[in-house]
Structure 1
Amino acid sequence: MTVTESVLSAAASATRRRHALLLVALSTGLAVVCVVAVGIGPVAIAPSTVADVVLGRLGLADTAGTGAADDSIVWLIRVPRVVLGVAVGAALALAGVVVQALVRNPLADPYLLGISSGASVGAAASILFGVGGGVLALTGSAFAGALLAIVLVLSVARIGGRLIVSRLVFAGIAVGFALTALTNFLVFASESREGARAVMFWTLGSLAQSRWESVPLAVVAVLAATAVFVGWSRRLDALAIGDDTALALGTDPVRFRSAAVVLVSLLVAVAVSVSGLIGFVGLVVPHIARRLVGAGHRIVLPVSALLGALLLVCADVLARTAFAPRELPLGILTALIGTPLLIALVRRSLTR
């Protein structure tokens, strides 16, 4: 091995160790934040009590010392909310990373392609007109809406059977506006005032209705999508450079982009069905992750998922405590946080 090869190997090993330490630090920080977040609320609960309740419910500790009230508050109300916050934050961040690679636009997120707007139409129809019942029905309706949106976007963006990335962005914006208008029309057309209020609050984004029955689907969807996207990391790296590079490395950009968009649609549909519309997470978090670890998707994806989970759990705590006993919708809070960051990103891109 030459001196140059030794130096490069040592640098690569140091980078891998730094990335591993960062993942461990983020995972540990997320666990600590989750325990603290569960304890915060109208009834404050000590982190030690939270840990006792959770470990006891998992059969790993004795819960004799915890009261029935604390047990119910922690396990039935706050833990599912925090777990869903982790899942939704990770899902939106992952979707943002992948969408930015697919369209080669650093200011892209699921809203740009109309995916979130399509999921919103499906979920609103389910809430207002009773298309089935339960979490699976709501998620299925959101997924159908998201797929409808992306089919429309892909149809508009194709020229001669080839997907044009620049047209994909404009098609997504146009379809997104149309579907947002359709959601508002469904609210207008509904005769149910309760349903209309529920949809309007839901479109602002909230974890207030979190229940355990929503948790398994969201967690499984995020874990499965993370595994698939990390497995596709080399293809995403190539596609982020350009379609010609992807072709040279053996990836059909049209087929791969279509498959990735379908998976992103499913992931966003699951997130939207349990939390409503929450913006800016998928836009801002990938930029933070790339500043920490570079542009390689194999590490950017898990780092983004952890950062997205951290951001949303912290934002949810702030949303439910800042104006207590009233709760600020999460979508409003993330917009207030994300808008200055978006302005900074735009200014930075224009000055390059």
Structure 2
Amino acid sequence: MKPESPLRRLAIAGGLALALLVAAALAMTVGPGEFSLGEVLRTLATELGGGEVDRRAHGILWELRLPRVLLAVLVGASLGAAGAVTQGLFRNPLASPGVLGISTGAAAAVVAGFSFGLDERALWATPVLAALGAVAMLGALFGLTARRQDLAYLLLTGVALNALAGALSTVLLAIFLDRYDLAQKAMAWMMGSFDGRGFRHLSWASLPLLAGLAGAWSLHRPLDVLVLGEETAATLGVERGRLRLGAAVVVGLLVGTSTAIVGVIGFVGLIVPHLARAAATRAGRGLAHARLIPLSMVVGAALMLAVDTLGRAMSPTFLAPGALTSLLGGLFFLWLLRRETEVG
């Protein structure tokens, strides 16, 4: 296969970016209030140019839909990248933050924060707790699966940790059963939604998520070497402990911050890397992590944008993105598990 030219790479990246921008613009036309694509583009251009904008268009398009769309893109890219890193780290196509309990660990930590009112005392409490919960669950996975690398053991360990974290959330809600506000807030948050999110949420989530995305891409070389096996990777200079620590920090940032800002969005980290690999294979490109991770970011952003737009389009019934991804992801996981079992 001929090496890919820099010009071709630039053209592909530009095409993907343009497609994502068009999808984002189209997503802003969906929802209460009739706006055509032309009206959306004119309003955004006027806002960016500092001109006078109709108050209704400003309130709906600029204040409500634009931050929601940007947050969907950022969260989708983050969960996609986290999934690619997790699968590369465990060298397993069935590994993902949702399947292995990492997302549930982040959720349990946040529910604990809700229960004791920590989220009301400091704005940073929820994202910090979510990141710590994700890192703690990933650390538990490392410890429990260090001596066994087979698929069944990894999945069973993930299922067990998922159940434990879910049980912890349930116990906390049962203890504070008399607090209706807590149950309502926790249940709405655990369904995963971009509802009510604005520029304030986008501003404080952007820095840790962008740092996590940069960190995910920086792991592409050691993850490529790790495909050859841990012993071979060690002889080529990849330190196992350092790689695991770096991956834990990156996945903790990406999953923890995403979970803290929009709630639990399941199975995106499982589906997206497979879609990215399929797209790379169809295009005749390699599957190195230097390409897989950025492609997973783009596919994840597009998937999350599509899911949120579909949920908003189902008026008057609103379907939370987390519920929809869990439904689609569960079916995809069953199909993938059956395929991997047949291949094995």
Letter in 1 for 2:269: G
1:148 corresponds to = 136
- Cα RMSD for the two superposed structures: 2.1
Summarize deviations over 1:210-239 as a string: whole Å, max 9, x none: 121111233223322222222221111111
Residue equivalent to 1:298:
290
Return the alpha-carbon distance in structure 1 between the equivalents of residues 341 and 8 of structure 2: 31
Identify which of 21, 35, 44 aligns with 2:34.
44
Paired with 1:106 and 1:18, the residues of 2 have a C-alpha distance of: 28
Please give the alpha-carbon distance, in whole angstroms, between the structure 2 residues aligned to 1:140 and 1:48. Answer: 41
What amino acid sits opposite 2:140 in the alignment? Answer: L
SS across alignment from 2:4: helix
C-alpha distance in structure 1 between counterparts of 2:339 and 2:158, whole Å: 24
Q: For residue 173 of structure 1, what is the aligned residue in structure 2?
A: 159
User: Which stretch shows the higher mean deviation, 326-335 or 126-135?
Assistant: 126-135
* CA shift digits 1:292-325 (9 cap, x unpaired): 2232100111111011001111110111221x22
**Which blocks of at least 5 consecutive residues in structure 2 are unaligned?**
281-285
Specify the code of the residue in structure 1 equivalent to 2:170.
N
- Match of 1:265? 252
2:283 maps to none
| Superposition TM-score, scaled by structure 1 size | 0.87
Gaps of 5+ in 1: 1-7
> Is the 2:83–2:273 contact (alpha carbons within 8 Å) kept by the matching residues of 1?
yes
Q: Equivalent residue for 2:266?
A: 279
Contact 1:128 1:196 in 2 (8 A): no
Instruction: Determine if contact 2:98/2:270 at 8 Å carries over to the other structure.
Output: no
Pair 1:266–1:13, CA change in 2 (3 A):
closer
User: How far did 1:348 drift?
Assistant: 3.0
Q: Give the superposition deviation at 1:345.
A: 2.5
Distance 2:245 2:257 in 1: 19
The change in CA–CA distance for 1:300 and 1:158 in structure 2 (over 3 A counts) is: closer
What is the percent sequence identity of the aligned residues?
33
Offset at 1:342? 2.8
* Aligned pairs (5 A) from 1:154-303: 154-158=142-146, 164-166=148-150, 170-190=156-176, 191-293=178-280, 294-303=286-295
Normalising by structure 2, we get a TM-score of 0.89
How far is 1:169 from its partner? 5.0
Q: How far 1:84 moved relative to its partner?
A: 1.0
CA contact (8 A) 2:30 2:312 kept: no
**What one-letter code is carried by the residue in structure 2 that aligns with 1:314?**
A
Alignment correspondent of 1:336: 327
Shift of 1:36: 1.4
1:319 maps onto 2:311 in alignment: yes
* 141-150 or 249-258, which deviates more: 141-150
More off after superposition, 285-294 vs 169-178: 169-178
1:175 maps to amino acid:
L
CA-to-aligned-CA distance 1:85-125 (integer Å, 9 cap, x gap): 01111111001000001111101110233221111012112
Alignment partners' CA distance in 1, 2:128 and 2:213: 20
Determine if contact 2:144/2:157 at 8 Å carries over to the other structure: yes
Mapped partners of 2:115, 2:46: distance in 1: 39
Deviation at residue 170 of structure 1 after TM alignment: 4.2
- Matching residue of 1:30: 20
SS in 2 for 1:118: helix
- The separation in 2 between residues aligned to 1:280 and 1:244, in whole angstroms, is 31
User: Residues of 2 paired with 1:305 and 1:175: CA distance?
Assistant: 27
Corresponding residue for 1:307?
299
Equivalent position amino acid for 2:138 in 1: I
CA contact (8 A) 2:212 2:253 kept: no
- Measured against aligned partners, the alpha-carbon deviations of 1:270-297 in whole angstroms (never above 9, x if no partner) come to 0001111111211011011112223210
Using a 3 Å threshold, how does the CA distance of structure 1 residues 261 and 173 change in structure 2: closer, same or farther? farther
- Displacement after TM superposition at 1:136 (Å): 2.1
